[in-house]
Amino acid sequence: MKIAERVIREPCLLRKAIRELLLKNPEGLTKKEICTFLIVHSKYAGTRRNLESQANSILKTLVDEKKIEIKDRRIFVLLHQN
C-alpha cells in the first residue's frame, strides 16, 4: 500500500473502530478506555500519544456531527440518527 493511501485509509478505519466499540458498550466509555482498548486489541503501529491525538480529533468530529455525545466524561453513541 502506498503511503498516501495509508494516510487516507487509517483514519477511516480508526473512526469505524471507535464507532463499533462505542456501539458494543452502551454504558459509554472514557477516552482513556477507548485508547487503551485500541492499543491492546489492534495492529495500530503508531505511538499511544499519536493514537490519542487521532482519537480526540475523530471524537470531536463525531460530536460535531451529533453521532456521539459526552456526558460526565463518558462517550455514548447517539442511536436516534436520521
CATH code of the domain covering residue 36: 1.10.10
Distance CA 69, CA 37 (A): 19
Reading the block at residue 23, the C-alpha cell is 456501539
Q: Is residue 72 part of a domain?
A: yes
Q: Is residue 16 part of a domain?
A: yes
| Backbone torsions φ then ψ of 10, nearest 5 degrees | -60, -45
82 residues of the chain, pLDDT tens digit each:
554 455 456 778 889 999 999 999 999 999 999 999 988 888 777 888 998 999 999 999 999 999 999 999 999 988 765 4
Q: How many domains does the chain have?
A: 1
Q: Is residue 44 part of a domain?
A: yes
Strand 68-71 to 74-77 pairing: antiparallel
CB 68 within 8 Å of CB 60: no
pTM assigned to the model: 0.81
Q: Is residue 82 part of a domain?
A: no
Q: Is residue 13 part of a domain?
A: yes
Domain that holds residue 71: 3-77
Residue with cell 436520521: 82
Distance CA 58, CA 52 (A): 10
Q: Is residue 38 part of a domain?
A: yes
